[in-house]
Amino acid sequence: MSFVEYGDTIKDGDTAIVFLGHESMFPVKVQHGTVTQTKYGVIRHSTDLIGKKYGSKVTCSKGGWVFILHPTPELWTMNLPHRTQILYSTDISIITMMLELKPGSIVCESGTGSGSLSHALIRTVAPTGHLYTVEFHQQRAEKAREEFREHGVEHLVTVTNQDVCKNGFGVSNIADAVFLDIPSPWEAIGHAKSALKAEGGRICSFSPCIEQVQRTCLAMEEYGFTEINTLEILLRVYNVRTISLQIPDLGKAAEDNSSSGFDSSNPSHQGSPCANLQQGTVQFKSGVPLREVVGHTGYLTFATKS
């Protein structure tokens, strides 16, 4: 099993996603002899998972059933253990596009955090690219290495435990893109410039506060970056559902038609709207926004090395 090389069959040691519903799923490490409890009953790894195909419908001990899905960066973002605040797919998608990433790209990232963006970057640059990710916190760095190894992507990523603001990324003039998600990104702009290739490399800084953005933009200008711009992605989700609306009472219009000689039995009038109006309700599909929506996550500042 690998997050970038998809397999058909569930194997011992794989990370799989147990899907109970769109709002209920969780990751599980498949191990021979292990069981997993769900609200529908027990899943026995040896008999219910190992050897089955990904996407299989598995019946639990209480008679309920779940689907077993192959992990992807998107599913991992929704189910990973949170060690820090993470980036979600809305921001991740614009980051990968604006940094112009593709298979073979070299990317530097700081900090690694819970690895949500890291998995998406690895999948984007695979199979010939590489991610150099720097994490200040030693335990988080060690946990990230362990997860990358379990997920079969350790050959595509190098995890370094150091302070990027003081020591940089450990590479020079090779990166196609740099991503910063740290409290003081302006202190790492010089190191980011050193890591980027000679010309045309892209940089992105994620910051929740506008004051951080202001200082970062000033630092980018000081180091000669161009095309500096900041944006914010706000997601608004709509539910498609059936709603009912009352048909308006147009009785006065009907009386006017009657007094003017309107004859509903006349074939020439059968297509008239007034001929088919009846008091009551009508149902139709409509898009309705959620009452609670995700608000501000952070500002994304992009720039290009001149």
- 163 annotated among ligand-binding-site residues: yes
Among 115, 237, 235, residue whose Cα is nearest residue 179 = 115
Answer for the pair 57, 69: CB distance below 8 angstroms, yes or no: no
| Sheet of strand 106-110, all strands in order from the earlier edge strand to the far edge | 157-161, 130-135, 106-110, 177-180, 202-207, 299-305, 225-231
How far apart are the C-alpha atoms of 249 and 246, rounded to whole Å? 9
What's the half-sphere exposure (Cβ side, CA atoms, 13 Å) at 254? Answer: 12
- 181 annotated among ligand-binding-site residues: yes
Find where tokens 């003039």 sit.
173
- 244 annotated among ligand-binding-site residues: no
- 116 annotated among ligand-binding-site residues: yes
CA 161 to chain centre: 26
- 101 annotated among ligand-binding-site residues: no
Residue ranges at the known binding site for S-adenosyl-L-methionine: 114-117, 135, 163, 181
Residue ranges at the known binding site: 114-117, 135, 163, 181
